[in-house]
Amino acid sequence: MSDSSPQPSKPVNKKRKRVNVRRPDVMALVQSEVEQHYRSSIVEKLRSHGGELTIGNTTIRLAQKFGFCYGVERAIDLAYATRKVFQDQRIFLIGEIIHNPEVNAQLREMGIVSLPWREMGKDYDDLNEDDVVIVPAFGAPTSFMDKLAEIGCHVIDTTCGDVMKVWRRVRDYAKNDVTSIIHGKADHEETRATASRALGTSKNGHYLVILTLKDADEVCEYIRGNGNREAFMEKFGSACSEGFDPDVHLVSVGVANQTTMLQSETEELQNRVRQAIVDRDGDDSLYHVFDTICGATQERQGALFNMLDTSDKKPMDILLVVGGYNSSNTTHLAEIGQENLPTFFIRNAKCMESMERILHYDLEHKQEIESEYTGIALKDKPAIIGVTAGASCPNNLIESTIIRALELRGISREELEAID
């Protein structure tokens, strides 16, 4: 006979259990471990020499700003600290902590299990209130955060502060019936998280995600009254909020962006949208803008432009951009580079089979390819090799790239380390 007595219902709407893992005793251990994994004495040597070292006829030129930013360092520190505080509990991570395969592999070795980030499924249903879930530096959509609250598990939120600034802005747009036009990649973790906040607390806000200036021009033409609604929705229907109506929701707009976009492109997009509003209304009272490119992204892009400025120095022969292929900010560094000189976007030093054969990410075809480069193949020919890296690339990967490039020019690591 079955038990017909009432069964306790599953608790809902619990408050997420946030835990402070940044205790002094824990962080001292974390700092030591992180430095062991990612620190580089070679990179520090280059910095002490103003970012440039010449050995024989080969010069390595390192960008003034590169690699880990504060937000990335904080996210990694919190992930390491979580493992130390919750030694006996299951620890999960929504997607990837940052866009760098080596760093994410290190977390997997520490027993941190990656959960799907595009949609919630059985993996989330299997969580319980004793589990620990790390939210990555990109943040997570509100639906994911609500699910964690319902379960009542421990939450370690590593969302970057610059990303949260964007969230506050788009929430404010929604509160004032302003549609968020988000410059970013529609399927990027950060953009998806931002779009969910653009709905506002009442879930009645709206957003539209656009990636390119060509997309922006089409939106601007619609704002001016020159578009076709059916064609517009066919193109942008998958990149906008549910119930989005361009005739209604493009009247009052505010621009925000994924924090790692190309700064110059975002600024141009903002100008074009503003001009479309002025052309339609005669003024820009229904246009709102807030600069949401993160400082670290701006610094790394600016440092690369300084490297490319040859008014006071010899030009580079080749540029190596180091980082994960799915890293947005690293991709934009490669875009800047390839407009000016032979540029190779590589994951790590292993991509350099020789100075003539380099595995690298092709931005146009979005895949790794092998290219031949003979520009500095002859070791007796002087060469200047530029190196930069995105905000998610650790110094040890930059170091190994520098060492490999010098080895291919006939210069040993010992020769490099011998320099004061």
Q: What is the pLDDT of residues 237-290, one digit of tens each?
A: 999 999 999 999 999 999 999 999 999 999 999 999 999 999 999 999 999 987
> Domain check: are 264 and 306 in the same one?
no
Do 346 and 390 form a contact (C-beta atoms < 8 A)?
A: no
pLDDT(200) > 70: yes
Q: Which are the catalytic amino acids? A: 190
> Domain check: are 78 and 189 in the same one?
no
> Domain check: are 166 and 145 in the same one?
no
Residue 306: pLDDT band by 50, 70, 90 thresholds? very high
DSSP string, 16-48: PEE-----HHHHHHHHHHHHHHH--HHHHHHHH
As a whole number of angstroms, the longest Cα–Cα distance in the chain is: 89
Residue 10: pLDDT band by 50, 70, 90 thresholds? very low
pLDDT(5) > 50: no
Q: Residue 353 sits in which domain range?
A: 50-69+296-417
Q: What is the pLDDT of residues 393-408, one digit of tens each?
A: 999 999 999 999 999 9
**Residue 43 included in any domain:** no
Instruction: Supply the DSSP symbol for 243.
Output: T
Q: Over pLDDT 70: what percentage of the chain?
A: 95
At 2 the pLDDT is 35
Residue 204: pLDDT band by 50, 70, 90 thresholds? very high
At 378 the pLDDT is 64
> Domain check: are 250 and 311 in the same one?
no
> Domain check: are 154 and 175 in the same one?
no
Cβ neighbours of 369 (radius 10 Å): 11
pLDDT(8) > 50: no
Q: In a 10 Å sphere around its CB, with 0-12 CB exposed, 13-18 middle and 19+ buried, how is residue 368 labelled? A: middle
pLDDT(297) > 80: yes
pLDDT(9) > 60: no
Mean pLDDT to the nearest integer, 73-81: 97
Our count of domains for the chain comes to: 3
> Domain check: are 262 and 300 in the same one?
no
At 15 the pLDDT is 59
Residue 292: pLDDT band by 50, 70, 90 thresholds? confident
Return the percent helix, strand and coil in the chain, to nearest 5.
Answer: 40, 20, 40
**Residue 39 included in any domain:** no
What contacts 128, CB < 8 A, 6 or more positions away?
151, 153
**Residue 92 included in any domain:** yes
Q: What is the pLDDT of residues 130-173, one digit of tens each?
A: 999 999 999 999 999 999 999 999 999 999 999 999 999 999 99
> Domain check: are 129 and 176 in the same one?
no
Q: Over pLDDT 90: what percentage of the chain?
A: 88
Q: What is the pLDDT of residues 320-378, one digit of tens each?
A: 999 999 999 999 999 999 999 999 999 999 999 988 899 999 999 999 999 988 777 66
Identify the domain boundary among 92, 126, 160.
160
Dihedral of CA 108/112/116/118: which sign? negative
**Residue 75 included in any domain:** yes
List, edge to edge, every strand of the sheet that includes 343-346: 52-55, 58-62, 383-389, 318-322, 343-346
> Domain check: are 376 and 406 in the same one?
yes
At 153 the pLDDT is 94
Q: Is the pTM of this model over 0.85?
A: yes
What mean pLDDT is reported for the chain? Answer: 92
For the ranges 12-26, 214-228, 234-248, the lowest mean pLDDT is seen at 12-26
Do 391 and 296 form a contact (C-beta atoms < 8 A)?
A: yes
> Domain check: are 336 and 410 in the same one?
yes
> Domain check: are 64 and 77 in the same one?
no
CATH code of the domain in which 305 resides: 3.40.1010.20
Identify the domain boundary among 272, 293, 314.
293
**Residue 200 included in any domain:** yes
CATH code of the domain in which 137 resides: 3.40.50.11270
At 293 the pLDDT is 79
At 420 the pLDDT is 78
> Domain check: are 303 and 375 in the same one?
yes
Mean pLDDT to the nearest integer, 186-211: 97
> Domain check: are 169 and 179 in the same one?
yes
**Residue 335 included in any domain:** yes
Nearest in space to 66 (alpha carbons), one of 400, 418, 387: 387
pLDDT(20) > 90: no
